[in-house]
Structure 1
Amino acid sequence: MITTIISIMVSLTISTLLIMTCFIISKKAKNNREKMTPFECGFDPKSSSRMPFSMQFFMIAIIFLIFDVEIIIILPTIKIIQMTELTSWFLTTSSFIIILILGLYLEWKNGILEWSN
């Protein structure tokens, strides 16, 4: 019990010290117009340096991330097939894949996968 309390206190102390150190180090000076503008050889910029963000690209990236994580979840099922019954493994894996396919179908029907409107 005492070791648990000591480990919690040590982790809280280390976390607090790191947060305080980051807070002290990251003190920024006041932002002014000269520091916020992009540098173009000493001249004023010709156009805005900020480009509009594509929401379709963001959605495709999120979908890719979700499916990437789901592949990591599916991979251990190959090893689990040796430890469990074949029917329970098949039902679990097929229900997971059916949920993924239904999610992909709903995204497709809602037009999330359409790049241009």
Structure 2
Amino acid sequence: MIECFLLFIFLFILSMVLVLVSFLLSEKTFESREKSSPYECGFDPILSARSSFSLRFFLLGVLFVVFDVELSLLMPVVLSISVGFSYVGLISCFIFLLVLFLGIFHEWREGSLNWVI
């Protein structure tokens, strides 16, 4: 019983020391003008808020997110088919891919994937 209490005290003191060390090491310094500006990437904070945003860039970003989510949804289907083969899983996988290919074909025909016009 006493060993458990000593272990608890040791872990508590160790965690407090680690919190104190991380607090001291993470102190932020605002010595440079770039670090204290709201746009650390180098944009001028006054003019960049008023500039127009490319809608094609936004649309391509949305397409990237859609196809990124598609991969995360498709991976369990592929793994379930490889573990135990079933025709229902295979057909649902093909229907899922067909819908995605129809969507990307529509975006390509619409011209949303073209950067330069």
Moved beyond 3 Å, runs of 4+: none
Flag the structure with higher helix content: 2
RCO higher in structure (CA 8 A, sep ≥6): 1
| Unaligned runs of at least 5 residues, structure 2 | 1-36, 39-43
Partner of 2:97: 97
TM-score normalised by length of structure 1: 0.55
TM-score normalised by length of structure 2: 0.55
| Unaligned runs of at least 5 residues, structure 1 | 1-37, 40-44
Give the counterpart letter for 2:48 in structure 1.
Answer: S
Give the C-alpha shift of residue 52 in structure 1: 1.6
**Counterparts in 2 of 1:73-112, with a 5 A limit?**
73-81=73-81, 82-83=83-84, 85=86, 87-112=87-112
**Counterparts in 2 of 1:1-117, with a 5 A limit?**
48-50=47-49, 51-81=51-81, 82-83=83-84, 85=86, 87-117=87-117
DSSP 3-state at the match of 2:101: helix
**Greater C-alpha radius of gyration:** 2
Q: In 1, Cα distance between the equivalents of 2:106 and 2:100?
A: 10
Give the C-alpha shift of residue 88 in structure 1: 1.4
Give the counterpart letter for 2:95 in structure 1.
Answer: S
